Structures are given as C-alpha cells and as structure tokens.
Structure 1
Amino acid sequence: MIDVGHRYIDISTFLSILNYFNLDTQETSKRLIKYSDTIVTVDIGIKSHYKELFMKNTQLDTVVNLSHDAILLTDKDNFILLYNKKFSQIFDITDNIIGKNFSHVLPNRSLQNSDQSIIDELIQFKDRSLLVSSSKIEYFGEPAGTYYNFQEVTYIRHLEKSLSKKLRDNGLVTRYTFANIQTKSPRMKDCINFAKQLSPTNHTVLITGESGTGK
C-alpha cells in the first residue's frame, strides 16, 4: 500500500494499476471515467481515447448479449476472453469465467483438440443438443484465438416451425400435388415416380429441357 497523500492519480497510472491487478471491468471503467471528469489532467488524449474505447466495448457487449446464440471467445492458449449471457444460460455458468481455461468449463475433447474450424458439429451437454461452429482467429498471420458459436437444436426447430407458420399465413403453401398431374404418357409417369422418390430427400435436383416444355 502506498500513501499518496492528497495528490491526484492520473488516468494512465490508474490504467496501469487496473491492468496489473486484472481489475479492468465494466464497473471499474465507469468509475475511472467518472473520476477523470473531476480532475484536470495532461492526459487529455488518453482520457478521450479511453472514453471512446469504453463506449465501443459497451456497444459490443450489448450486441453480443442480444444474440440468441451462445458466444465464446478464447485466446491462443484457450483461455476465455469473452462470453455472453446465452452461454451462461446454456452451460449453467454462475461465476465469472473470464481468464479460465475453456477445457475446465466445457471438457469436450473434440472441441479442445481441433486445430481446424468446426462447422455445425453436434454435441450433447446434459439434456441439451447443441450445434457448434468455431473459427480460428489470426493476428498478423499468428494464431490469436478461437471464436465459438453454440445453437440449441430445440431453438432451431422452433424457428423452423415459426417460419412455416408465417409462410402458411401468407399463403405460401403447396397448392398442387402429384395427383393433380393428369397424363397417360409412360415417360411422364416414369418422371412422376422418379420425382416421388426424390421428394422426401434433401438432394439438390436439376431439371433440364427446352423452353416451353413445362419444366
């Protein structure tokens, strides 16, 4: 403890103290900005830059926490830098996990050992089914961390049902079926039977033919 008497501490010194003791939180930032408005300092540039940085971090925090997806950001050594409220809800996080290793929070080997980006990998957490995607982050060509995105399968299904209902309400529904096609042509009947086999699948279908043939 250092007794500085009645002297004021400048902004740059406070920033060094906060960083040294890892106390740079949203609450300490608010207090430092409020304190900086009460003193006259030569660090005008630092003061304005710090205010601008705090505002951008607040905006980023708002956007991240409005997301319906769970978001996590780690550094190159897998220590957690950022996560949102949805991540806390899905994984039952009650304590602050900033600075903790991701493997201690979510011990999933497939996520920890992956050197490549992940696209829609299905994992289980307790009674939840989750789709996970990840993307490696680089800074000047060097590994800088990993971004993770988690989506609940039940939420995705809810979106599909909601979208289907809205499409039906707007009249965007199927009006014709195979039974509506009237033909005696054997080749046309073969086409209909082939189409019936394809219809339950998710395969991409390309239909070719001359213009005006009724593709």
Structure 2
Amino acid sequence: MTFYGDVRSEAVAGDDVLLCPADPIHREALHDAALMSEVARGSVEAFSVLVDRHSPALYRVAMRMLSDGAEAEDVVQDCFTRLWQNAPRWKPSGAGLVGWLHRVTMNLCFDRKRRFRVVTVETLPDPADDSPLPDRRIEADQAARGVADALADLPERYRAALVLCYYEGFTNALAAEVLDLNIKAMESLLFRARRQMRGLLEARDISTGDLEAQA
C-alpha cells in the first residue's frame, strides 16, 4: 500500500527526530519492544520498521471494520501518529505492541462507525463489469461480496471479535485484551458473533466454506 510513506512523514512532522545511520537488517530483526525503545528516543528508522511490520494487518482490520479503503488508511495513519506521540510513555504489556496497535485501531474504527451513524452518505454501487468471467470466478466474487456484506451487517463488537479471532488468527486471550474484556466475556461475545454470522450467511445462501475461503 502506497500510504506507508505518508504514515511515517505525517506522524513525525514537526517533532525532533533522531536520524541514526540506517541498519535495516539489524532493526528488522529486533523485537517490537526494542524498536519502541529506539522510537522513544526519536528514531525514525525504528519507527519505519514498525510501520512496515504492522501496517498490513492494521489495514486489513480497519478495512473489514469500515468497508472503506480511504477511511481504513486514515485509521492506520492516526494509529501510527498516536504510536509516535506516545512512544516515550509506552510500556510493554501482556498483549505487547500488537495488542496496543490493534486496540487503538479498533477504537478509531468504533469512533468512525459512530460518526457514520450521524452523518450518512449514500453510496452508489460499483458499475457493472460486462467483461466475461468464468463461472467459478463469478461465483467466488459473489460469495466474497456476500461474506463482506454479512460481516458489515453485524453489530460492531461482533464484527470486531470475528475480525480479530477468525480473520487475524488472534487467540481469545489476545483479542480480549484488545477489546478490553475478560476471557469469559470474550468467549461469549465470539460465540454470539459466530451464531449471528451463520444466520446472516444462511439468509444469503452462503456456506461456511465460502466464509473460510475469505479468511
């Protein structure tokens, strides 16, 4: 995704930064906590490694939560801006930097969804593509759209649980930390989310196999 450079430049704009001799092989091998120690001292190079390392997953999460590429990019950019600003105060926790980044991303997505409820914008369907496609490709595209629509119809907390645990492969414990829940509440949320998702898929005549193909 081409917005990574913008993430870096806007996050550090106006701040005093530490321009260290680049050693990408060394830094890419460092754990997140070690990189965060460098970011806390103003290292743009260490920050860039974290952006490259975590942006793809955060974008996937934001895209599945918001179904809007531009909004998802803004969420990722805002998330890394907050990371840069909070680096001197960041402390490792059980969920690590991955948990922190996903918690911020989810909260930013929730904020945007609430804003969408107040200001709604009518979206036009994509123009039809008249080019011929093999039947299997057409069916796969239809299934993908159906799964995405079903996911978008879920309550936001249900959607968040499925995005983290099903699509991103988080353990229940890590997802619970991201969503600020205890493990029992997380398991209950995930159970209800799966049940409602199955109902939405059945209403669209989509099998759970089609859902697995999208994960």
Q: TM-score range by the shorter chain?
A: under 0.3
Query: What TM-score, normalized to structure 1?
Result: 0.27
Query: Which structure shows the higher strand fraction?
Result: 1
Greater relative contact order (Cα 8 A, min sep 6): structure 1 or 2?
2
Greater C-alpha radius of gyration: 1
Query: Which structure shows the higher helix fraction?
Result: 2
Query: What TM-score, normalized to structure 2?
Result: 0.27
